[in-house]
Structure 1
C-alpha cells in the first residue's frame, strides 16, 4: 500500500473493513478486534491514526518494532484458533503508520482469550451469543452442516416409510429387505438418524410433516398485480406450502405454471402451446432454492410472480468462496451434503453444478443476485411482454 492509497482510506473513515488506532498496547484488546475481523470479512487495522479525528500520529522506530511484535503475538496467543496476519509500514506525510491486514478466518468461529466470539457491526464490534449465529459461523468454515444436525423430538416414526422405501429402491435398485438391514440401520448409514433422532436432512427429504418441527421451512407464493412488491392486489395466493422437499417442489411448480401465460409455438388452431418461460428454467431454479438454501436461517423461500418477472428468493447468501461468476460456469460447493447427495433420486436434480448454466442457456436474460447484507439469494426470470 502506498501513501496515496492510505490517505484515501483515512479520508473515508472507519467501516466494517477499516479500523483506526492511535496506539496499540493491550494484546487482549487488539486480539478481540482481530477476532471480529476474522469472523466477518477480514479488514485492515491502521495504527498511527486517531479514530476520532482521522489525524495521522506516526509511530517512532521503537514503537514500530514493539507494535509489530505485539500484533504478531496477539494473533498467535490471543485469538483462538490462531490466525496469521500481514503487516506493512507505510510512510505518509513524513510519518510512519502500520497497516495490519486481517484475512477472513478459515476456522470460524474465532474467539478471544475469554472465550468471547466477536463479529464486526459497522465500524464497531459486537458479541455473538445466539446459538443459531454460532452455528452459521461454523457452517461458513465448513465445520458444520445444517442438514446433518439432529432434530430434537423426532423419531423414525416421523418418516413417511413408504416414500423412503421407494427412494431406497431408486438409489440402490434393491428393497430394504433385500439389503438385509432395518430401516433405522439404512437411515444411520445415510447419516439421517443418530441417537434415535432424525437429522434435518432426513426430515426434509422423507418427513411426514417436517413443518411440525421446523415451521418456517415452507414456500410462500404470491402472484401480484403490477411490478411492485408493495401492491395491494394479487391474482393468486395461498397459505405457505408445507411438506417434504418433493411435495414443496410439486406444489410450488404447480403454482408458478398455473400463473404463467401459454403461447402458441406454431400457427394453426391445433398447434401445441408452451409456457412463456421455459419449464426447465423454473425447475432448475426451484430445485436449486430447495437444495442449496441456508437451513440455519429460520425463514421461508419466497416466490413472487409480477407482471414482468418472477422472483425466487432463497434464504442465505452463496456459501464459502462461491460467486455469481463461479456458479454461472458450473462451480458448486454443497451447503447441505445430505440433501445434495440424495435429492437426485426424488427431484430433477443432477448435482454436478450444471443447473444454473442450464437455466441460463434456456433463459439468457436470467438475473442472479447474491445479497450478502440481507443474506438472501435471488433469481429473477423475465416474463415476455
Structure 2
C-alpha cells in the first residue's frame, strides 16, 4: 500500500493547502504531490482532469514567490486519472506562500522558524552564515596571530592577511572573523566537556569553553584530552608516550565538529569523556546535497563553513577537505574496536572507543586464534589448527567460543568453510 513520507504527499481533493507543501519542497529537498489519492494511499482518481491541471498550474504561478521549478503530468494510476506534481529544490529560496516559508516535518508541512528563514535568505543570496558582515570594528586576534606565526611563519597579522583569510571585506569584519577573535562580543556557542571516572556518578572534570577564539577552544580541548588519555610506559630504558584513544582520531573529530557545525544554532559542541570511549556531539546534521553514504565514504565534500575550513587547513589542523571520516577510520585500522558515526536530523555524534588490538574478553586459546586470523584474514579450521599448533578439539572449542562472542564469523559451508574476524 502506498504511504506518504517526507518527499511524497497525497491529495484526494484540490484545496489550497497543497501550496504550503510546494513552498516546502522548493525550499528544501524537493518532492511530489499526487492528486487523486487519499491519505490512506487509496486511488480515487479525478474528473475534468485537464481543467484541474490548468487550475493547479495557474494557482502555483500566482501564489508561490519566486516562481518554483516544477512539472505537472496527468498519469493513469490503477486505471484512474491522477495528476503528479513534481517539485525540484529551487536555487533562489526562500519560496513563500502568502508571505510565509514552509518545510516538511516527516509527513506534515510546517512554517519555518526565524533561524531557518534566515538560512534560506542567505542561501538564496549565495551567502554562508559565516560571511555575514558585522558592525563590530574592535576585534583582536592575538591567538590567531600566535598560531599563524608558529605554523606558517608570518611576521605579523595585518589587515592584508585578514583580507586574504576572507575575514575582512568591504571595510567590515564578518561572523567568521568574530569566531576567530579573542574578544567575541556575540554570544556564540562553545564546547562543553565532561570527564567521568569509573562510572557516570564520578565526575573528574567539567568545563564550558566559550567567549574566546574557536582556535583557542580547539587547542584547550586537545590539552584536556592529553591530560586524561595520554600516559607513559617504560620499555627497556625508554619512556614511551602512549594513548588510550588515538589522539589523531580525536583531533580530526574535534576539528570536524568545529569546522562543519551550524553556528546559528544556540547549542554547544558536547564532549563526553569516559574510561572506555569519547563521544563528540556536533550541532547540525549533514549539509544539503550530501548523503550519509557519501559522508561515510568521503566521496564528496560540501563545506558548510569554507572560511573557517580554509583557516584550519592553512594551520595544518585538518588535511584535504572531506577526508575526516576516512582518517578517523584509518587510525583504528589495527584496533578490534572501531569508531561509530551516528547522523541524526539535528546532530552528528562520533564515538571513539579505547584502542584494543586484542579484545580484553579473550582467554586461553581464543587469543592465539584471534591473532592468527588477524594476520591471515580468512582460514579453514585445519589451517588454524596447524598455525596455532592445537589439537582438533581445542581448535573447534576456541573457534566456537569466538563465534559465540561475535568476534569471528563463519564463511561458506561444508569443505569450503572458513573463518575470519567480524571486523575484517
- Same-fold status (TM-score > 0.5): yes
Select which of 333, 342, 347 maps to 1:376.
347
Say which is worse superposed, 316-325 or 342-351, in terms of deviation.
Answer: 342-351
Measure, in 1, the Cα distance between the counterparts of 2:348 and 2:123: 16
> Secondary structure in 1 aligned to 2:65?
coil
- Aligned-residue offset at 1:360: 1.4
Higher relative contact order (CA 8 A, sep 6+): 1
1:219-230 mapped onto 2 (5 Å cutoff): 219-225=191-197
- Aligned-residue offset at 1:89: 4.4
Say which is worse superposed, 343-352 or 298-307, in terms of deviation.
Answer: 343-352
TM-superposition CA deviations, 1:296-323 (whole Å, max 9, x none): 2121111111333211111111112123
Residue 297, structure 1, aligned to residue 265, structure 2: yes
Contact 1:107 1:141 in 2 (8 A): yes
- Aligned-residue offset at 1:280: 1.2
C-alpha distance 174-272 of structure 1, shift in aligned 2 (>3 A)? closer
Two-structure CA RMSD over aligned residues (Å)? 3.1
Measure, in 2, the Cα distance between the counterparts of 1:193 and 1:309: 40
- Aligned-residue offset at 1:30: 3.6
- Aligned-residue offset at 1:369: 2.0
Paired residues in the alignment total 351
Contact 1:19 1:46 in 2 (8 A): yes
Q: Over alpha carbons, which structure has the higher Rg?
A: 2
Structure 1, gaps ≥5 residues long: 1-7, 177-182
Structure 2, gaps ≥5 residues long: 361-424
Contact 2:74 2:83 in 1 (8 A): yes
> Secondary structure in 1 aligned to 2:327?
helix
- Aligned-residue offset at 1:18: 2.9
Question: What's the TM-score once normalised by structure 1's chain length?
Answer: 0.78
Question: What's the TM-score once normalised by structure 2's chain length?
Answer: 0.72
Q: Which residue of 2 aligns with 1:198?
A: 173
- Aligned-residue offset at 1:93: 4.7
1:343-382 mapped onto 2 (5 Å cutoff): 343-346=312-315, 348-364=317-333, 365-372=338-345, 375-382=346-353
Measure, in 2, the Cα distance between the counterparts of 1:263 and 1:325: 38
Residue 128, structure 1, aligned to residue 112, structure 2: yes
Q: Which residue of 1 aligns with 2:24?
A: 36
1:249-260 mapped onto 2 (5 Å cutoff): 249-260=218-229
- Aligned-residue offset at 1:382: 1.4
Contact 2:194 2:206 in 1 (8 A): yes
Q: Which residue of 1 aligns with 2:387?
A: none
TM-superposition CA deviations, 1:82-131 (whole Å, max 9, x none): 2332445454454332232333334332112x33212223433222351x
Measure, in 1, the Cα distance between the counterparts of 2:208 and 2:15: 58
Contact 1:193 1:199 in 2 (8 A): yes
Contact 2:147 2:315 in 1 (8 A): no
Residue 79, structure 1, aligned to residue 45, structure 2: no
Measure, in 2, the Cα distance between the counterparts of 1:333 and 1:249: 22
Q: Which residue of 2 aligns with 1:180?
A: none
Select which of 24, 32, 35 maps to 1:47.
35
TM-superposition CA deviations, 1:203-239 (whole Å, max 9, x none): 222x1222x31242x1111123467xxx443222123
Contact 1:49 1:57 in 2 (8 A): yes
Measure, in 1, the Cα distance between the counterparts of 2:55 and 2:155: 63
TM-superposition CA deviations, 1:331-376 (whole Å, max 9, x none): 322211221222233352234333332221112422222212xx11
Measure, in 2, the Cα distance between the counterparts of 1:54 and 1:190: 54
TM-superposition CA deviations, 1:128-186 (whole Å, max 9, x none): 351x211223456682212111334x22x32135843873896695656xxxxxx4455
C-alpha distance 360-129 of structure 1, shift in aligned 2 (>3 A)? closer
Contact 2:270 2:280 in 1 (8 A): yes
